[in-house]
Amino acid sequence: MNIKARVINLIKEVENGKYSNIVLNEYFRDNNLSKKERGFITELFYGVIRNKIFLDYEIDKRTTTIKKDWIRNILRISMYQISFMNSDDKGVIWEATELAKKKFSVPVGKFINGVLRSYQREWQEDVKELKESGKNYIYLSYPEWFYNKLVSEYGEEEGELFLQSLKKTPYISFRVNKLKYSCEEFEKLLQEKKIDIIKKVDSVYYVDSGILLYSDEFRDGKIIVQDASSYLSARNLNPKPDESVLDTCSAPGGKTAVLGELMENRGELLALDIYPHKLKLIEENCHKCGVDIVRTVKMDARKLKEQGKKFDKILVDAPCSGYGVLRKKPEAIYNKNSENVEELAKLQFEILESASQVLKDNGELVYSTCTILKEENGENIKKFLEKYPNFKTVELYIPENVNGSYDNVGGFTVDYKEDILDGFYIVKLKKNKEKG
């Protein structure tokens, strides 16, 4: 099957509700492709999803109605190649025309040819017009509300840098589980498999191939898929052996496993979630990693006082809008709105406030999210510190090769300056004993 025809099928799966990263990983697992083929498919697949608003704007400008998804997707793919890839435009148009003729008819092929030739001539002028008319959000391919939100929080220049950075191609990352494996052993495995390291953050490796998903090492829990940003939120809590530790919003258990590893499998580690099937997932993932001190509990983290116990350290990796991980799940931007953010910020504060009540005096709490919006991050922490002056922010551990910015309350955002890691927010709080 032609590669573009394959990509059309993959895009259709995402439009039917499957996560893009799962669709692509499953396809690569089931098909024996060269590294070059995998790279080309990845670029086209994610490129179309990331730029869907702009591509559809250009298609709708040149057509009345398109009833068949296949036709819209071949136009999207071809327009993406013309604008965003170093392609031979005439070759792109010819191939799309021939594919349409073969699948449908000569008239359909002529229609595709006409639309793409018009686009080839005019798209750069269209982009100029969008920018001049205050509609750059269309070219950047974001909902208008999200563009305005980023610009209002960070200013136009910095906001657009954020938006552009979220379009970059993601790399898969594996964390070495030191309860079962070593970095030296993993690096030897990478050499044997001829897999290149893109970036290393502590025990997290970004690599140029996902083939290790089907390895014995992955199956045995020696390595797990985890972004360094996610790892750093747990690493910053830095629990010690024999401490009592709470992970308030645990699923799927990746950070819980880091906490267990840091505790050397000694102590008390409580993992919460409100859904039984997610608790089972936490148990399975921790068992796979050899972490056996975890006790899962079905509980709403907003009701922590009811369980009557206090903890040395607490991780609040709060439910969030997820806009920091759009590189990996670009389709997520199309089904959320500003009301979602307001509701989430309120929920996050309630969970943080609840967790703070069951933290021991001199205990430490890490609050983190996988979003870049200030409303869910620094603004929540500022409000919390004003309400609870016995809490103070403390210094974070951020490796030198991780780029981002500190805010005025001491939190760190992995932001547009970072090319590889997911966008993330981390802040660490210490509870001082209240006077009187």
Q: Specify the DSSP class assigned to residue 267.
A: S
Whether residue 242 is annotated as binding a ligand: the answer is no
Whole-number average pLDDT of the chain: 95
Last residue of a domain, one of 141, 160, 186: 141
Domain that holds residue 240: 228-431
pLDDT at 337: 84
pLDDT at 160: 94
Distance, C-alpha 251 to centroid of its chain: 15
pLDDT at 336: 82
**In terms of domains, do 209 and 182 share one?**
yes
Between strands 244-247 and 311-317, the pairing is parallel
Using CA atoms, how far residue 311 sits from 90, 119, 282, 358, 360, in Å, is 65, 61, 20, 6, 6
pLDDT at 210: 86
pLDDT at 1: 67
CATH number, domain of 59, equals 1.10.940.10
Using CA atoms, how far residue 339 sits from 44, 130, 276, 332, in Å, is 32, 27, 27, 15
Q: What is the dihedral of CA 386, 313, 246, 415, to 10 degrees?
A: 60
Over residues 303-332, the pLDDT tens digits come to 998 888 999 999 999 999 999 999 999 999
pLDDT > 90: percent of the chain: 89
Contacts 24+ apart (CB under 8 A), 216-222: 217/181, 217/186, 217/189, 218/174, 220/180, 220/288, 221/177, 221/180, 221/288, 221/289, 221/290, 222/176, 222/177, 222/180, 222/181, 222/185, 222/186
**In terms of domains, do 232 and 220 share one?**
no
What's the total number of domains in the chain? 3
Whether residue 250 is annotated as binding a ligand: the answer is yes
Instruction: Please give the positions annotated as active site.
Output: 370
Whether residue 249 is annotated as binding a ligand: the answer is yes
**In terms of domains, do 247 and 308 share one?**
yes
Last residue of a domain, one of 83, 118, 141: 141
**In terms of domains, do 352 and 221 share one?**
no
**In terms of domains, do 353 and 242 share one?**
yes
**In terms of domains, do 286 and 362 share one?**
yes
CATH number, domain of 366, equals 3.40.50.150
**In terms of domains, do 333 and 215 share one?**
no
Residue 373 has pLDDT above 60, yes or no: yes
> The whole model's pTM is what?
0.92
Over residues 191-239, the pLDDT tens digits come to 999 999 999 999 999 998 888 998 999 999 999 999 999 999 999 999 9
Residue 435 has pLDDT above 80, yes or no: no
Whether residue 67 is annotated as binding a ligand: the answer is no
**In terms of domains, do 295 and 193 share one?**
no
Whether residue 273 is annotated as binding a ligand: the answer is yes
Question: Hey, is 11 helix, strand or coil?
Answer: helix
Residue 69 has pLDDT above 70, yes or no: yes
Listed in sequence order, the DSSP H helices in 1-143 are 3-15, 20-30, 35-50, 52-62, 69-84, 89-103, 106-132, 136-140
Whether residue 387 is annotated as binding a ligand: the answer is no
Using CA atoms, how far residue 413 sits from 41, 144, 375, 402, in Å, is 31, 23, 13, 10
**Cβ atoms within 10 Å, residue 421:** 27
Between strands 172-176 and 223-225, the pairing is antiparallel
pLDDT at 395: 97
CA-to-CA distance for 234 and 140, rounded, in angstroms? 33
Residue 434 has pLDDT above 80, yes or no: no
Question: Hey, is 47 helix, strand or coil?
Answer: helix
Q: Among the listed ranges 14-23, 216-225, 361-370, which one has the minimum average pLDDT value?
A: 14-23
The DSSP element (H or E) to which 371 belongs, if any, is none
**In terms of domains, do 392 and 426 share one?**
yes
Residue 290 has pLDDT above 90, yes or no: yes
pLDDT at 343: 94
**In terms of domains, do 252 and 373 share one?**
yes
Over residues 107-132, the pLDDT tens digits come to 999 999 999 999 999 999 999 999 99
CA-to-CA distance for 138 and 53, rounded, in angstroms? 6
Q: Is the backbone peptide bond immediately before 252 cis, with ω within 30 degrees of 0?
A: yes
pLDDT at 433: 83
